[in-house]
Amino acid sequence: APPASGPGPRSARNDVLSPPLRPQQYSRLNSSSQTNSLKDLLQSKIDDLERQVLSRVNSLEEGKGGPKNDTEERIKIESALTSLHQRISELEKGQKDSRPGDKFQLTFPLRTNYMYAKVKKSLPEMYAFTVCMWLKSSAAPGVGTPFSYAVPGQANELVLIEWGNNPMEILINDKVAKLPFVINDGKWHHICVTWTTRDGVWEAYQDGTQGGSGENLAPYHPIKPQGVLVLGQEQDTLGGGFDATQAFVGELAHFNIWDRKLTPGEVYNLATCSAKALSGNVITWAESHIEIFGGATKWTFEACRQIN
């Protein structure tokens, strides 16, 4: 009899030989929810097959089953696993090829010191800025570092970080302001921070509403140009020196930067996905502008359609 911990050879063989999911079945999928549910289905199939592999290992350890059958079984299961992994890759590629350049999100599933994205373009010298993005995270304590901008001689030129039990903070030239964001509830939130070098005045917006403001944050210090802009990690050196405890865990989308202070109305338009919503004039969210490293992934994202 097969071990109680899982299905025996017969059910394993039946699963492996069941009709595969044909490409036509997902070529017509045009919504991210359908695509993600297919990805979940494929992943579930992989999990089932991997459980069957474990079951076969257990039965082998108990001295059951013929060597020839076991080898055939293993080859079939490994072939099916390879095929399913390949289909997931094809699904991701097909999704990328068919979606508009800005309708994507980055996912950082683990707190590591190697998973990150890099913006290919640097920042110019800026005497004011607005940075906005969509974030989703349930990480605790602290969601980590959604982005960091380092320049030669100053790793903390411009950083957004929520580390340990501290509130979220914005750092400019290593000077700190505490922000009133509460975002680690596993839901999508739109956040913006505006700043001007004159008197170091800043404002913080969550979901289109201003929640805090202050002054004397690095007053009269222009943001320096020619640095490295990283998403998902805090830089201790130019482009590196990552610390897993400060890594962002969650999902990030529509990261845009302007070289001016947006008005409350402009921020509200972004948070509500108004037709009047602007794209960043310094950094625009586009798939061609972002390189990903270490296992971070890109998936389709349409703000305000799939939030929460």
Q: Topology of domain 117-300, per CATH?
A: Jelly Rolls (2.60.120)
pLDDT of residue 281: 97
Contacts of residue 147, defined as CB under 8 A and 6 or more positions apart, other chains included, come to 131, 133, 159, 160, 229, 230, 231, 232, 255
Per-residue tokens: 143 = 């969601």
pLDDT of residue 247: 98
DSSP 3-state assignment of 299? strand
Task: Kindly list the domain boundaries of the chain, sorted by start residue.
Answer: 117-300
Contacts of residue 89, Cβ cutoff 8 Å, sequence gap at least 6? none
User: Which amino acid, residue 134?
Assistant: W
Residue 90's pLDDT is what?
60
List, run by run, the mean pLDDT of 10-residue segments along the chain (308 residues): 43 38 39 63 72 68 60 71 63 63 93 97 98 96 96 98 95 97 95 98 98 97 98 98 97 98 98 95 96 94 74
